[in-house]
Copies of this chain bind each other. A is one copy, B any other.
Amino acid sequence: MDESRSGYFRGLDLEAAAAPLRVAVIGAGYWGPNLARNFTASPDWELAGIVDLDQGKAARLAAAQGGVPVFASVDELLDLEEVDAVAIATPAHTHHGIALTALQAGKHVLVEKPLADSRTKGLEMVEEAEGRGLVLMADHTYCYTPAVLKIRELIADGSLGEILFIDSVRINLGLVQPDVDVFWDLAPHDLAILDFILPDGLRPMEVSAHGADPLGTGRACVGHLTFALANDAMAHVHVNWLSPTKIRQLVVGGSRRTLVWDDLNPQQRISVYDRGISLDRQSSAADRKASAISYRLGDTWSPALPEHEALGQMVAEFAGSIRQQRPARTSGVAGLRVLSVLEAVSDSLSADGKPSIVVGNEPQLEASR
């Protein structure tokens, strides 16, 4: 482990912590500008520079952020003592290389989803960060939206009861990606959200995936993913690039209440239905099959959600995790759990929908969640 960084943690000076941390954004394409803008706007951060292979893009983004420095390469950037952290917004297959280099240079690292393009690479990143006492955070942006924070809260405080089923639909007319299928493109969002809201995180033993490539593009454009949750509950995710209608909907069916999050309905994003089927769990298995079931028809409730930009909360959490020397809420380990499921999805697809084992979720990793 880099001595100087290790010293950073050991000798954390609270007064110094109040000064902004310095971060550079690597990648000035689609997502990088959003990160840069939020780092600039945050009292926790000072934007220290921009890197992109396309120097023109980097220069334009740097100018728009008040003229921060542009670096010609990642290496040049990492040489700088005064840079505390980097945020990586480059194509997924480059995450591993850049993140390892940055960690080895003693920088904290934020990575756009997915954490990497394979579980093995993600695991290396996680281990490198752990070994060096550095923060590795996955930019699972949705987890910082008011809606997802509220869902997590309502599950955690028992408002929904035990989870019975989860259904997540993320469909729209989407670009057929050159290198990934619709699962790797869209499902990281759903899986990251599930990892965030489930009390024990995303830890399915196995996963079944069914996909189709009706246009002959060489990769699945429509997909369905199912796996078991605790207590015989089931999760299902539908991802689709071919739908002319856009749907972003998550249903969490609970034994006490059921929640529907419709992200495209700004007037009522979250609805909590106090109705459903009740079962007297004290009853014997025999009874349960017959008379112990009853129906509740109750009110619907839609909580007011605070208005804040998710990315603003996310960069604050990145700073908080560094300063408090703790894993971020959406840690590299969380990103790894998402990768583990995605790999099992690919396995199941190759096996024609047969359930596939999810590698990972090892005990030693869980400890750091």
- A interface list, Cβ under 8 A from B: 63, 66, 162-165, 167, 173, 176, 178, 208, 210-218, 221-222, 224, 226, 228, 231-234, 236, 238, 240-246, 251, 253, 255, 258, 260, 267-268, 273-277, 279, 281, 285, 288-290, 293, 295, 297-304, 352-355
Q: Which of B173, B208, B246, B301 contacts A295 (CB 8 A)?
A: B173
- A251 vs B274: C-alpha distance in the bound complex, in angstroms? 24
Q: Is the CB of A238 within 8 A of B279?
A: no
Q: A163, A217, A285, A290: which has the most chain B beta carbons within 10 Å?
A: A217
Copies in the complex: 4
The 3 A-B pairs of least Cβ separation, nearest first, read A212-B234, A244-B273, A300-B302
Known pairs A216-B288, A275-B304; list 9 more (Cβ under 8 Å).
A176-B277, A210-B226, A215-B279, A216-B232, A216-B279, A224-B224, A236-B238, A242-B277, A299-B304
A268 to chain B: closest CB distance in Å? Answer: 6
Closest B residue by C-beta to A352 = B355
How far is it, in angstroms, between the C-alpha of A275 and the C-alpha of B307 when the chains are bound? 15
* Residues from chain B with Cβ under 8 Å of A163 in the complex: 214
Tell me if A165 and B354 are in contact (CB < 8 A).
no
Return chain B residues, CB-CB under 8 Å to A176.
277, 293
Report the separation of the CA atoms of residues A243 and B176 in the bound assembly, to the nearest whole angstrom. Answer: 32
Could you list 14 A-B pairs, sorted by A, with CB under 8 Å? A63-B66, A167-B238, A173-B275, A173-B277, A173-B295, A208-B210, A210-B226, A214-B232, A214-B233, A245-B251, A268-B300, A298-B304, A352-B355, A353-B355
